[in-house]
A and B are shown apart, each in its own frame.
Chain A
Amino acid sequence: MKFLEKIVHKHEPKFAKGGKLEKWNPIFESFTTLVFTPAHTTKKGSHIRDGVDLKRTMMLVIVALIPCLLFGIYNTGHYELVAEMGDRSLPYLDQFWSKVGAGAFVVLPLLVVSYGVGLTVEFVFGVIKGHSLHEGFLVSGMLIPLVMPADVPLWMVAVATVFAVVIGKEIFGGTGMNIVNVALTARAFLFFAYPTSMSGDNVWMAGKEVDGFTGSTALGDLATFTSDKMMVAGSEVVEGTSQAAISAFENSYSMMDSFVGMIPGSVGETSVIACLAGAALLLFTGIGSMRIILSFVIGGFAGGLLMNAIGSNPYMDLPAAHHLLIGGFAFGCVFMATDPVTASQTAFGKIIYGFVGGLLAILIRVLNPAYPEGVMLAILFMNIMAPIIDHYVVQANVKRRLKRLKTA
């Protein structure tokens, strides 16, 4: 690597203060620090430092997302073929490589657009503010395509990414300063600005669909359970009882299929197994908070049980465990709720944050079918509530300390 080092040293003076390319130093620095850890040394205080830095942390999050990405590519390819043939009963592992190819053809452009647009915006802000690229977007750029429906137009992804990075993050001061999760901001932006491209029955499967075929998702179908005309995978549930509806639903989206991820949905969210693999890495390395993930799942399960107990329509009768396996619950729980910047920062706050987040996700899903994807809204809402939760946890600490003063 000596020759690369020589190149860096050769060009360094041009970008240094007073050099003729001084203005572009942030970009130069961003690229050199991708190849070399800079020669920064400690000045005082602690003379040695831990090996971990933000690049290492973010790299591991990206690694944790790879199972979801790979599964998402295959699943997208599968449902593209399903849509073209108009037949949901296509065996999942048939035509393996053509599905991989078809999926990659849809997902990789999403990835390229997300990273390309997002990093460009980040670099523009970096040059204006004079700092090198902060690593936050490396993860956001990966998350954005994974929470999009496969059929979303690329220009929308670009617009959403710009919105999320500028309004969601940079105006607050960049990585570490944002209030709401960047990737979810992108999704929420499209959800409200272009609802026809983000929800409904025709966006989840890429490619041309044959007439009369409905590419609905589990959540989309469940949303119809609160209406008079209950639909499952494009066909109406004739017998209008709750039992019939649930069993028709389980026929189309069995627990096992949902767990493995063989159901339609946003690109990377369908497979619980892939999310669990990511969760294992995040929890093991300590990057993801065990408190948040566990309490989020418990909160979701409690929400499901609560709905079962009320049980006034077929949607409410869906088994609580099944709720955790469909839609973006697992993905949101592992990769979105645990974002350390937007989550609660205190140990006890994390438990409340996770529990209420999980609970709300199910409540929004079931009680407000206009928003089938309750997880996104629940996490965004909790992002905004997190500072308040932290405030009360910090006040509890302050009070405990004051009490000590009085008893002393």
Chain B
Amino acid sequence: MSKSIKLKKGLDIRLMGEAVTVKTNLAMPKMVSVKPSDFHNLTPKMVVKEGEMVKAGTILFHDKYIESVKFASPISGTVKAIVRGEKRRILEVLVESDGQQSYVDAKSGVLSGMSSEQVKETMLAAGLWPYLNQRPIDVVADPKNAPKSIFISAFSSAPLAPDYNFALQGKGEEFQAGLDALAKLTQGKVYLTLNAKVASNEVFKNAKGVEINTISGKHPAGNVGTQIHHIDPINKGEFVWTVNAQDVAIIGRYFVTGKYDTARIIALTGSEIKDPHYFETISGANIAELLKDQITSDNVRVISGNVLTGDKISKDGYLGFYHNEVSVIPEGDQLKFVATKGWFGPGFDKFSNSRTFPTWILPKSKKFRLDTNTNGEERAFVVTGELERVFPFDILPMQLVKAAITDDIDSMENLGIYEVAPEDFALCEYVCTSKIDIQDKIRQGLDLIASECM
């Protein structure tokens, strides 16, 4: 039975620099990076050494505690460097391309004849497993757990998010193969949730073997956490896995072609980009090439991912494992005179969900050029009721955040910590008057739950 969900709460932040649906094919990047930091709480154990030759699909490292979860190289070439940080923690593994892109020989059989266990083994061995994320805790799925369902969101509603309709155009076969593979991993259903506001393309509409629901509303309607909450909520002791739509196609591609080919379409967006549009590249690609002649000012922040949940990277940094876009916005590291640009000013350049700024009076078509300034200092919680307006869950956000801050495990469990991921709180963090790093607090709460209760 297909559901149609309507959300009343939420917020669409209108930013400048949305990508137009034009695609540039980039040459295979010269250097890629696989960053253990993209996978929360992962302790990697290296399999290869510096200087070793690898193919696309060769395992670089695996999870020290769950050895079956492996991480593969997206290109063929040489392991250039294993960059370590404090206490010799591995920060990233750099692989230099040999320019040929040869793949590890596939061992995949025909998907329809494979058992659940075989699909799992294949995915683990191929390095595809990290595309599966697990709720609760929001980490790479543990293959020992049986998920009650698997969720895929067919769109992203985050500011400047890439259009998956465009990114997956013509990839119906791969996407369907990915769905079929995922269906074998769970006893329950695979849910695909479409955007009710915009027509989805055939790839999504014709998806088979899944339950299709629709959702409409402002961000975070496209967040998979919101969809889980309204369709098949997680209770304590249950697991739900989630996969990004483009990653489904990458999984499917492996089963169709037998290649670990992480080619994906990413959007280059943001107010500081000359010509925001789409690029075809691969996971972990160096973005220096991408940004060449595209940035319009010097003092910018480059973000792998969207502006609400992405990671800060340098101008010659690398695309994150899960990310489908690169956003570039101005840095806000300047003093701002209060009567013109600060708390005493008219504030026509500010996008505020509260009516303390005149955002509400401006036409809906106006887009904003927001920088990374916090627009104020951190304070204790004072204002109430503002987080609830952008949090479409039957969960009390402020109380849950407070429970997380105070390490109150009982309250966190009761208030619904098992259902949420930090990204669900991104908008709460955005609107918070007291400038509290809410996503970070929720992450700390989840880490505590992971160590004490899982």
Are A50 and B334 interface neighbours, CB within 8 A? Answer: no
CB <8 Å contact, B415 and A50: no
Quick check: A394 and B396 within 8 Å, CB to CB? yes
Bound: A56/B354 CA distance, A = 11
A46–B376 CB distance below 8 A: no
Residues of A within 8 A of B161 (CB): none
List the B side residues contacting A36 at CB < 8 Å.
Answer: 335-338, 342
B356 touching A44, Cβ below 8 Å: no
A132:B377 contact, CB within 8 angstroms: yes
Q: How far is the CA of A136 from the CA of B381 in the complex (A)?
A: 11
B377-A53 in contact (CB<8A): yes
**Is B10 interfacial (CB-CB < 8 Å)?**
no
- A46 and B439 in contact (CB under 8 A), knowing A35-B338, A37-B375, A401-B414? yes
B426 interfacial by beta-carbon distance below 8 Å: yes
Q: Once the chains bind, are B357 and A51 in contact (CB under 8 Å)?
A: yes
Interface residues on A, range: 35 or more
Q: Check B438–A51 contact: CB distance below 8 A.
A: no
CA distance A325 to B394 in the complex (A): 39
Interface hits, A393-408 → B, CB 8 Å: 394, 397-398, 400-402, 404-405, 408
Query: Judging by beta carbons under 8 Å apart, are A49 and B374 in contact?
Result: yes
Q: In the assembly, what is the distance between CA of A389 and CA of B228, in Å? A: 30
Contact A47 B338 (CB under 8 A): no
- Which A residues are CB-close (under 8 A) to B427? 46
Bound-state CA distance A397–B391 (Å) is 15
User: In this complex, what residue of B is CB-closest to A60?
Assistant: B356
Q: A35-62: contact bitstring with B at CB < 8 Å (1 yes, 0 no)?
A: 1111111111111111111111101100
Contact B430 A46 (CB under 8 A): yes
Question: Of the 9-residue stretches B48-56, B191-199, B344-352, which lies at the interface with chain A?
Answer: B344-352
From A53, A287, A341, A394, B415 is in contact (CB under 8 Å) with A394
Q: Are A401 and B416 in contact (CB under 8 A)?
A: yes
Flag whether B353 is at the interface (Cβ < 8 A): yes
B433–A400 contact, CB under 8 A? Answer: no
Contact assessment for B382 and A408 in the assembled complex, using a CB-CB cutoff below 8 Å: no
A289 interfacial contact with B, CB 8 Å: yes
Residues of A near B357 (CB, < 8 A) are 51-52, 56
- Count of A-B contacts with CB under 8 A? 223
| Contacts known (A37-B375, A397-B396); A49 close to B430, Cβ less than 8 A | yes
Interface size on B, residues (CB 8 A): 78
Q: Is B119 an interface residue (CB 8 A)?
A: no
Asked if A287 and B356 sit within 8 Å, CB to CB, the answer is yes
Tell me whether A18 is interfacial, beta carbon within 8 Å. Answer: no
Residues of A near B363 (CB, < 8 A) are none
- Kindly state whether residue A176 has any CB partner on chain B within 8 Å: yes
Contact segment of A218-226, A257-265, A302-310, A343-351: A343-351
Whether B434 and A176, one on each chain, are in contact in the complex, defined by CB atoms closer than 8 angstroms, is: yes
Indicate if the CB atoms of B307 and A48 lie closer than 8 Å.
yes
Is B310 located at the chain interface by the 8 A CB criterion? yes
B377 touches A47 (CB 8 A): no
Tell me which residues across on chain A come within 8 A of B359, comparing CB atoms.
Answer: 51
Determine if B150 is an interface residue (Cβ-Cβ < 8 Å): no
How far does the alpha carbon of A336 sit from the alpha carbon of B438 in the complex, in Å?
28
Quote the shortest CB–CB distance from A279 to chain B (angstroms).
Answer: 14
Stretch at the interface among B165-173, B273-281, B365-373: B365-373
Contact B312 A47 (CB under 8 A): yes
**Which residues of B lie under 8 Å from residue A120 when comparing CB positions?**
none
A52 touches B372 (CB 8 A): no
* A residues near B256, Cβ cutoff 8 Å: none
- B353 near A40: Cβ-Cβ < 8 Å: no
A51-B359, A51-B375, A53-B435 known, 7 other contacts, Cβ within 8 Å = A33-B377, A45-B426, A49-B430, A50-B353, A51-B347, A51-B352, A52-B352
